[in-house]
Amino acid sequence: MSFARYKMCIFGDGGVGKTTLVNRYVTGQYSENYSMTIGVDFYTKNVEIEGISVNLQIWDFAGEHQFKSLLPNYVIGASGGIFMYDISRFTTLKNLDEWLNILKTAPDEEDYNFPIILVGGKSDLELEGKRVIDAEYAAEYGKERGLNNFIECSSKTGENVEKIFYTIADIMMKISGIL
């Protein structure tokens, strides 16, 4: 069996559900009691994709303003990324441009030129009437900025959590020529 290792980054504004998403993916558990990420947290998960063993190294970045300057140094060596926003808070999607501009300040410009998928989190809030960002609008918004895919998810229900990480791993594997 072949083996691959990929570093990927998950970034976006504070409180959009990045840590909850990663924890749901890595542990299969949901909790509302995660504290704010300070700087960056690091997770790993081994998965099998098309007969290839893949080690995903997931770097979860704090979304608060004072930590955004750390992102360019941590993307060095990354093969892909996830930009996450909250479907109930419009500003969290609008801030995508600011996050992309921060990536462009990476020490080596090739370090930010990696595939990014757009993820709308907290899709379960739609049932409570809290959706403010239409899925089609968000998908087009990401496409206009050159993002590679769009998925909505709910860490609470588990909807599309596995699909997100499978999708970014598949893209990274294709770009590196493994698939």
Question: How do residues 155-167 score in pLDDT, each as one tens digit?
Answer: 999 999 999 999 9
Question: How do residues 58-94 score in pLDDT, each as one tens digit?
Answer: 999 887 777 777 788 888 889 999 999 999 999 999 9
- Using a pLDDT cut of 90, give the percent of the chain over it: 73
Any alpha helices (H) in 33-177, and if so which ranges? 71-74, 90-94, 96-103, 135-144, 161-175
Question: How do residues 36-65 score in pLDDT, each as one tens digit?
Answer: 677 678 999 999 999 999 999 999 988 777
What is the count of structural domains for the chain? 1
User: Residue type for 47, please?
Assistant: V
- The residue segments making up the domain with residue 142 are 2-175
The pLDDT value recorded for residue 41 is: 86
Query: CA dist 82 to 2, 17, 79, 171, Å?
Result: 25, 12, 11, 12
**pTM, entire model:** 0.93
Decide if 99 contacts 11 (C-beta within 8 A): yes
The CATH number that applies at residue 40 is 3.40.50.300
